[in-house]
């Protein structure tokens, strides 16, 4: 079984896809390295890629461990709060969510830090990686 996920963004500004700042929303899940993603922008363009082509497995591990470490501190927080009156039940709400931030990007375009567009010049390479992946599976099933 091959996981496939569809991501969709609206194109309110009518930008050329090469310059699009629109990005898929990942919410509480990061791209999975073994999954295929179809990404479309309303009225603009569609592309597809493997999760492993847009995020490194080591980066995934670091980001997931960040939230695991936050969870580990819950007992300490609960213990500290139990010693005080808290009639209105104030408690942190930490939502696990991921976004793509310019200051965390390692990509540069025209000498400036940027977030790589899913429609960048590497688009064809990413799409070919998906095609090659399916061709390998097809060849293996023929043998």
| 138 inside domain | no
109 DSSP β-pair partners: 112
Q: What is the mean pLDDT of residues 43-49?
A: 91
pLDDT digits (tens, 9 = 90+) for 85-142: 999 999 998 888 898 999 999 999 999 999 999 999 999 999 999 999 999 999 988 8
Which structural domain, as residue segments, surrounds residue 75? 4-116
Helix (H, G, I), strand (E, B) or coil at 61: helix
Say if 130 falls within a structural domain: no
Residue 126 lies in a domain: no
Query: For residue 42, is it within any domain?
Result: yes
Does 135 reside within a domain?
no
In total, how many domains does the chain have?
1
Task: Using alpha carbons, list the distances in angstroms from residue 66 to 21, 43, 60, 63.
Answer: 26, 37, 10, 5
**All residues at 6 or more sequence positions from 30 whose CB lies less than 8 Å from its CB, including other chains:** 51, 55, 60, 63, 64, 98
User: In this predicted structure, what is the pLDDT of residue 103?
Assistant: 94
Check: CB of residue 46 under 8 Å from CB of residue 38: yes
**Segment among 54-63, 73-82, 134-143 with least mean pLDDT:** 134-143
In a domain, 139, yes or no: no
């Amino acid at each position: 079984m091959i996981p496939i996920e569809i991501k969709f963004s609206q194109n309110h500004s009518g930008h050329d896809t090469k310059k699009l700042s629109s990005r898929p929303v990942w919410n509480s899940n990061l791209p999975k390295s073994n999954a295929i993603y179809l990404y479309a922008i309303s009225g603009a363009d569609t592309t597809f890629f493997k999760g492993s082509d847009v995020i490194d497995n080591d980066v995934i591990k670091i980001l997931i461990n960040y939230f695991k470490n936050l969870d580990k501190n819950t007992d300490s927080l609960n213990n500290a709060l139990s010693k005080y009156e808290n009639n209105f039940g104030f408690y942190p709400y930490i939502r696990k969510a991921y976004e793509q931030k310019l200051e965390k990007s390692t990509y540069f375009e025209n000498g400036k830090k940027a977030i790589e567009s899913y429609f960048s010049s590497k688009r064809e390479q990413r799409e070919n990686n998906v095609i090659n992946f399916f061709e390998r599976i097809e060849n293996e099933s023929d043998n």
